[in-house]
Each structure stands twice: as C-alpha cells, then as structure tokens.
Structure 1
Amino acid sequence: MKYYLLGQDLWSIVRGAETTPPTDEENLKKWKVRCGKALYVLSISVEDEFLQRIKDLTTPKEAWDTLETLFTKKNDAKLQLLENELMSLRQGDMAVSQYFTKVKSICNEIAKLDPQNAISETRMRRIIIFGLNPKYNGIITAIRGWATKPTLIELESILANQEALDNQMSKVSINEEDKALFSKKGGRKEVQAAANSDSESKGPQRRQGWQKGQHKKGPEQRGGTQSRFRDYEEQKRHRRKDGLCYNCGKKGHYARDCWARKEEGNAVTLKQDENEEE
C-alpha cells in the first residue's frame, strides 16, 4: 500500500509533510482533491469490518493511523498463532521437501507481519532439525561434526537423498517378502496337487478291485479264471451259431437230448448199483 501511494504522489499527505491542510484557498482545494484520492485508495484496500472504522474520517492521516492500530492488534494475534504453529510443527507423514516448504512458508508469513524480528536461516535450520523424524538422527549427528554447517538448501538435498534411498530399500525388502511368500504358497500347492493326482489315479483301480472281489487274489488266479470263463462263453456262442450240441458238439440234436449224456448217466447208475451189491 505504501509503495502504491508513493507512486501516485499521495504518500506525503498520508504520512509526510503535507498531512496538515494549507492556508491559502488555491492550495487547499488541490490538497482536498489529493486527500479524496488517498482516502479512496485506502477504502478499497481494506475489508468491510475496517472500512466501517474509517468511512467518517476526513484526512488520510487519520485513516492511516486508525488502520495501523487495528492491523497491529490483529497482526499480533496472528503472529502468535504462527509462532505456536512453527514451534509445534513436526515432519510426521510429510516428505522432506513438503516439510521444508511448510517451515519456510510459516517463517515468511512471520517476517511479513514482523519484519524487524524475521527468523534467521540459522534458527530456521534448528527448527527443522528439531521436528525431523527420528530416522534421520544419524545424519544430523554426522552433520554436527562438520567444520562448516550446511545451508538450508544443502541440508534439504542431503535429507531428500536419504529419503529416496530408504524408499528404494523398503520396496526391495517388500518384493523379497512377496517372493518368499509366493514360493512357499506355490510349494504347498504343488505338493497338494501331486497328492490329489496320485489319489485320483489310484482311487478307480482300488474301487474296481473291491467291486470285483479280487483284492485278495493274485494276478495268476484272476487272469486264469477270467481266461477260462471267456473260452467257455466263446465256445457256447460258436456252437449256438453252428447248431451244434453243447454236450457232444455234434449236429442234429440239443444238449437235453444228447445220447452221450444219457450213456454217461447210465454208466454212473450201473456203477452205483455195483457199489450197493458189494
């Protein structure tokens, strides 16, 4: 605001040698015109709550002094809030660059409100170090042993490089843990799949053996019985097809009328009779 008034040649009637009105009529008229311009600039530059305090004033000096008093009181409260925020600020989840930017921003606002007590770079560095996360304690201890202390830019660069290295190492460790977990799960799945495959392949064979009642028989017994049964069935089919007797294998009669069976039956009867006579 001050520089704008200086550029418009109005600062002299606000806080300079022309704050009091001239005595002659011609200069007084010009002075009032300039006062009107200065009051207009001041009124459009403040909020409504401050405008109500200066709207009835007649000179730019009175308006400026009133605004200065009001802003000083308000600035004191704001300044105290900024200082409290700065002293309680910690890095927490913020990245190094974000943390440095936050501290610098608060310090710049304090300097605007109180230019005579602006925060120096040395104090700003101490505030930043105090609020850093504990994982950077080793670097800070090493820096304190240096003959020449690093500037804020150098300190930010050192901490940012360490932060990038830590992030890279954490990603590598996470990838290794994922690989180990995946290999364990994969090994278990392969073993389980092999066991399931083995049981499935042996299951039907076992069930088939139990169903046929051959689980207690040896290979020779199972094979001999089956082969004889197949040969007998095959002979029956051939005889039925050719019209042969199932008993003697000749044509012209059935097995129930076969003479060979009757003769065999008579021979058996005779033998039984001889046994009874003895």
Structure 2
Amino acid sequence: MSTMSTVDGVAAVFSSMPTPAFSQMVSMKLNHENYLLWVAQVLPYLRSQGLSGHIDGSLPAPRQTVAVDPAEGSGGRTIAINPEFTSWYHQDQLVLSVINSSLSEEVLATVVDATTARGAWSTLERMYASSSRVRIMQIRMQLATIQKGDLTAAEYFRKVKRLADTLAAVGKRLEDEEFISYLLRGLPADYDSLVTSITTRPDTYTISDVYAHLLSFETRQEYHTAVGQISSVNNANRVPSRGGGAFGQNGRGGRGRGGRSQPGRGNNRPPARPPSNNSSSSGTCQICGKGNHNALQCWHRFDQAYQAESTVKQAAAATHEYAVDPNWYMDSGATDHITSDLERLTTRERYTGGDKIQVANGAGSSHEASSSQRQM
C-alpha cells in the first residue's frame, strides 16, 4: 500500500480547491502604518490554501538531494534532486510571490534579499510586530479617552467602531459590553439620562440596540433645540404693549412740563382734563387764555408749536427767573422735568448743582440750590 507524503498531501488539497485571485482577497498593500490590517488579510488567505506552514515554520524545507540506488548491473549509488524538495520549493516561491505582491514599494525594498517565504515573513515581523503591540495599546487608550465632542451620533459611533474593528482584525476583539462601555464613556453630560437608562436596565443591550437609542436621543435633542430657538425668536420679535391711562412708555406715567401726570405716550385718547383753580369755573381756556371755551374744546389743543400771547410775553421778560408754563402738552417721553414750585411735585429731590437751565425759546436761568428742584 503506497503512502502519500505530507508535501504531496498539501499539494493534492491545494490542487483540488479553486484558487481565488489573490488580488481579490487582499485589497491593501503593506506600508509602515497598516501592518495589523495587512496581516489580517494575508494570513487567512494562506491558511485557506494550506500554505501557512511556509511562513510559520511548521512546514520546513525537505532535503534538497537524495541518494538513488543504482540499477542492477550498474555502478554505485548516485545523488539526485529530491522530488519532495522540488514540490516544496515551488509552493514556497508561490507564497513568497504572494507576500511580495502585497507590499508597497518602500517596504518591498526591505525584503528584496529574502529567498524564502519564511525569511520574508520573519523580516517583516521583526520590523513591525513590536510597533504593532504598541499600536494595540494606543488604540485601547484612544477608546478609553475618546469623546463625542461636536460629532454627530452616527459619526461618533463610526469612530469608535473603526478602532474596535482594528483590534478585532489582529485577534483582540472587544466583547459587546466592553464596546458599549467605551461608547457611553465618551458621551457628554446632556446624554446622562440615556447612559443611566442603558446601564441600569437588567436586560442586555446589543451594540445595534445602543446605536438605535443613541440616534433616537439625538433626534429628540435636535427637536427641542429647534423649538427653543423658534420660541426665542418669537419673543424677541413681539412688540411690547403700550400702557394707557396714567402709565406712559416703559410703564411709567408721563409728566408734562407743568409737573402733572399726562396720559401714556402712544395713547389715542385725548389728554385728561387737568384740575384747575379758576379756569374751568370762569370759562377761560388754559391753552390760549381766551374765554367761552375750555382746554378740551380749544383748537390749539394738539398744536405743540402754539404758545399763548401771555406766555410769550412772560418768557421774554424773564431773565433770571423761570416762569411756569401753564399750558399742557402731549407727553414727550422725557424722564426728567424741572419746576421751581415744590407743590407741583409728588416726588421731591433737592437739586444742589450749579448747572444752567435753558428752555426752547432761549430763556434761561442759573438757579440756586434753594429755588431749583429736579424730578426723576
């Protein structure tokens, strides 16, 4: 009964399986930064073809030559090439070709002297394996310190997933609970209610469940933010109501030049009839000083430029004394009014400054502190 050698067995398996194109199985070339991902693609391909023994040392090279017994009647034993070595060598060069074809130009220069697949693989491992272990530690540190920041929920999830996938590619796959803990740790404070809901639930969440809850929570946040902005704009554009009656602009009662309260500015009602000592009873108008009508019936009631003759004469004659204007005017919106008659004021504050007062017609006076009052 004949037996099949190990090399022949591997060759038989290799020849019986359909061999996919290597370029279809390995899509990236090795550079100085992607060794972990490169190994994750090349190694499964070689295993699927039964060729991984050429790189891990489990399939060493057979003897290159063997002694052949001479034929009957011929001379002594002769040396011949070992057919097992020939088969092994062909497969090893195939593996070496696969490795070299997946290297970038800069990395290929480092293994150009390698004559076997094992030699090329060992050289690459020495160059990048130690740095890859450091890379694994760096990835875990990134996962431990990652923050959502200004990223959307989808962008943040993909960022964490890429790091986890890199670890999985080199055999350091994270469990679902560990992945979720890294994901929740980097969320800001306004996601605390979501984090509490997930971490306190007795049922086990999958990564897909957490991702769906994360997207739903972000959608609700965006909705409430939009509603708040619309409410703020509406409040800013709302025209404040203007007070009437005894309250003028800014909710304060306006005061005329005579010191008495006037209707609020913007009020369409006519000015309230002021109290009078003798004008109403005698039928003399307080605006124009003429008889047979009162201030409510006067044609000059809304003419702010009108001044009675008696008022003009008094203003022209006054040089150091301020004559009280008996006329009533529409509220000007002023907050400060001056009078020398304390009885006309409801709130009194003695003025102690030395400023001069000048009115619209040019008359003015520098009042002493004892005779000038200021109403705020």
Same fold (TM over 0.5): yes
Shift of 1:121: 0.6
Task: After superposing the two structures, state which structure 1 stretch, 172-181 or 131-140, moved more.
Answer: 131-140
Instruction: Please list, as runs of the form range in 1=range in 2, the aligned pairs for 1:44-59 lying within 5 A after superposition.
Output: 44-59=101-116
Alpha-carbon separation, structure 1, partners of 2:196 and 2:99 = 52
Instruction: Please list, as runs of the form range in 1=range in 2, the aligned pairs for 1:232-243 lying within 5 A after superposition.
Output: none
Is this contact kept in 2: 1:14–1:60, CA < 8 A?
yes
Shift of 1:186: 9.4
Distance 1:150 1:33, change over 3 A: closer
Q: Which residue of 2 aligns with 1:19?
A: 60
Shift of 1:66: 2.1
Q: Which residue of 2 aligns with 1:137?
A: 192
Alpha-carbon separation, structure 1, partners of 2:198 and 2:94 = 57
* Alignment partner of 2:162 out of 105, 111, 116: 105
* Alignment partner of 1:178 out of 205, 214, 233: 233
Shift of 1:18: 4.5
Shift of 1:142: 3.3
2:96 aligned with 1:39: yes
Distance 1:29 1:161, change over 3 A: closer
Is this contact kept in 1: 2:61–2:88, CA < 8 A?
no
Alpha-carbon separation, structure 2, partners of 1:144 and 1:10 = 46
SS of corresponding position for 1:128: helix
Distance 1:10 1:95, change over 3 A: same
Shift of 1:53: 3.2
Shift of 1:152: 2.0
Shift of 1:122: 0.7
Task: After superposing the two structures, state which structure 1 stretch, 36-45 or 25-34, moved more.
Answer: 25-34
Shift of 1:8: 5.9
Q: Deviations over 1:16-36 (max 9, x none)?
A: 665314434262445444333
Shift of 1:128: 1.5
**Letter aligned with residue 200 of structure 2:** G
2:203 aligned with 1:162: no
Distance 1:109 1:13, change over 3 A: closer
Between Structure 1 and Structure 2, which shows a larger proportion of strand residues?
2
> Between the two proteins, what is the percent identity of the paired residues?
20
Q: How many residues align?
A: 203
Between Structure 1 and Structure 2, which shows a larger proportion of helix residues?
1
* Alignment partner of 1:147 out of 189, 202, 211: 202
Q: Deviations over 1:252-274 (max 9, x none)?
A: xxxxxxxxxxxxxxxxxxxxxxx
Alpha-carbon separation, structure 1, partners of 2:112 and 2:178 = 43
**Which 5+ residue runs of structure 2 have no aligned equivalent?**
1-41, 66-79, 244-248, 250-264, 267-299, 311-376
Q: Which has the higher contact order (CA 8 A, sep 6+)?
A: 2
**Which 5+ residue runs of structure 1 have no aligned equivalent?**
196-201, 218-278
Instruction: Please list, as runs of the form range in 1=range in 2, the aligned pairs for 1:195-214 lying within 5 A after superposition.
Output: none
Instruction: State the Cα RMSD in Å.
Output: 3.5
Is this contact kept in 2: 1:19–1:61, CA < 8 A?
no
